Structure 1
């Protein structure tokens, strides 16, 4: 791997890992819907500006497609809300571990969908991967949630996000078939921002003037964790291909755990680390077959641009 690609890979993992930190800081002062709205709008704007700079103005055409609005809400708006609300009750590191399970839910959903590609059919290796990874999710719920270390309702809401990412990936493949990856990235975030806006206004304004930490966190979440991060991913996918770009999936939870521990004082409990190892091992096994033949998933966005790992 070239030094430039390695630097972009580490920067991408650092940005996506920091998204959970930014969310946690922002929701201490801003209602979750307000955080989601800012993230969607700033992210869409940043990606649209990048598309214009590289001479791809046609990516904005997706904003005129009604079906893209559904993709945007399922793959961006609702999962972002799950993370924002969930992190009012759960540590940012735990949220990152939950996000790491997104490829598992996507692979599991593929097994019940009609006309799935040959590269996504169930194999012994993929079955083992799903079992190991979902075992990590169960361990996280049993030990951290039911065990009382983590708010169970918050953890349950967080777990809805990777499920939504999986469904969003399925919808994006059908709605954006044949489009470049920038089209769903702009339209999903942009249209979801328009839909969320009235709800964010009704949810109310912050009770007091925002601190500089909250303002910077929201700006970094939208421009950095959503906009710039996607541009880095787009560059990596072009230079490294699906297999190389997929490496970021395994790096970002570690960054998130370290950020939470160092900057927010969040404990890193052994059970959470074990759950993360199981989830990542399951993801590695699940993606071992056919990885070179399909696009790498984007954590926290849809698969062609929105699926397994927003965060």
Structure 2
């Protein structure tokens, strides 16, 4: 990964880390589904003129089926799950759960693409999921007022991301990052319209909520997905998905600065174990004892 790719990865992490902050601000005002419709709808309006200007409108039609799948798995479904979870979970907590995306990406690649799992990757997966257990221990309560369903929603969203990253590499390798970003947001918008429009809030929406929703759409979605699909095309889904390493750090910082959220011991312990597992699973750290000895 070159310096420019690394710089884009850090920028992407900062943008997506901020998305958890904006969801915490806007979701209670708009409602989860309406917020996601605003998010993907405004992102589509930002991206479509670029597609037309570059003469790639025909590609949206050519690739409409896989774009619809990516729109569902990479936007409509996980965005809705995270927006709903944001009603009760902190930005930092949901971002740490989002960090399991590379683990699910590796599992999907193993099950679907028959990608080999060496000892280091298997250990990494095991550690990562152990980190999830540490993180959510005591939070899974389905009693009235409990956060159990919100936690499950935030745990399911990264599964969809993991599937989408591998699907994009397999089915949309020939499409430009702009076409993938635009087509997926357009597809998500069309899917959410009939579900979200009837739920549009009757109460006035505050300026802060609108600003958060616009930032979520333009900066954390339109711009961020251009960067993400560009990275997938250049360095592959396995490395691009490693952006989730940095997202929790930014989300915790943004949440602490703007919402007064604190880093709990469970978040620190669970997040640390998850990130260690991701490092092993992606081959970013390989202890000597895991490397097979060479035969003389």
Structure 2-normalised TM-score?
0.83
| Equivalent residue, structure 1, for 2:19 | 19
Instruction: Tell me if the contact between 1:46 and 1:228 (Cα under 8 Å) persists in the aligned partners.
Output: no
Distance 2:54 2:226 in 1: 11
| Equivalent residue, structure 2, for 1:96 | 95
| Equivalent residue, structure 1, for 2:288 | none
Instruction: Tell me if the contact between 2:66 and 2:172 (Cα under 8 Å) persists in the aligned partners.
Output: no
Please list the CA deviations of residues 174-222 of structure 1 after superposition, one character each: whole Å capped at 9, or x if unmatched: 442432333322211111111110110122x224211111001110111
| Equivalent residue, structure 2, for 1:132 | 127
- Quote how far apart the aligned CAs of 1:76 are: 1.4
- Larger mean CA deviation between 229-238 and 193-202 belongs to 229-238
Pair 150,99 (structure 1): closer, same or farther in 2 beyond 3 Å: farther
Give the total of aligned pairs: 282
- Quote how far apart the aligned CAs of 1:83 are: 0.4
Instruction: Tell me if the contact between 2:181 and 2:222 (Cα under 8 Å) persists in the aligned partners.
Output: no
1:189 maps to which of 185, 188, 191 = 185
Give 1 or 2 for the bigger CA radius of gyration.
Answer: 2
Distance 2:202 2:70 in 1: 32
Q: Any idea what SS the aligned residue of 2:67 has?
A: helix
Please list the CA deviations of residues 110-143 of structure 1 after superposition, one character each: whole Å capped at 9, or x if unmatched: 2222x43xxx311101001101111111111214
Map of 1:255-270 to 2, 5 A cutoff? 255-270=250-265
Map of 1:284-295 to 2, 5 A cutoff? 284-288=279-283
RMSD of equivalent CA atoms: 2.9
Distance 1:158 1:108 in 2: 18
Structure 1-normalised TM-score?
0.80
Give unpaired runs (5+ residues) of structure 1.
290-311
In the alignment, does 2:105 pair up with 1:106? yes
- Larger mean CA deviation between 52-61 and 72-81 belongs to 52-61
- Quote how far apart the aligned CAs of 1:152 are: 1.6
Map of 1:204-223 to 2, 5 A cutoff? 205-223=200-218
| Equivalent residue, structure 1, for 2:248 | 253
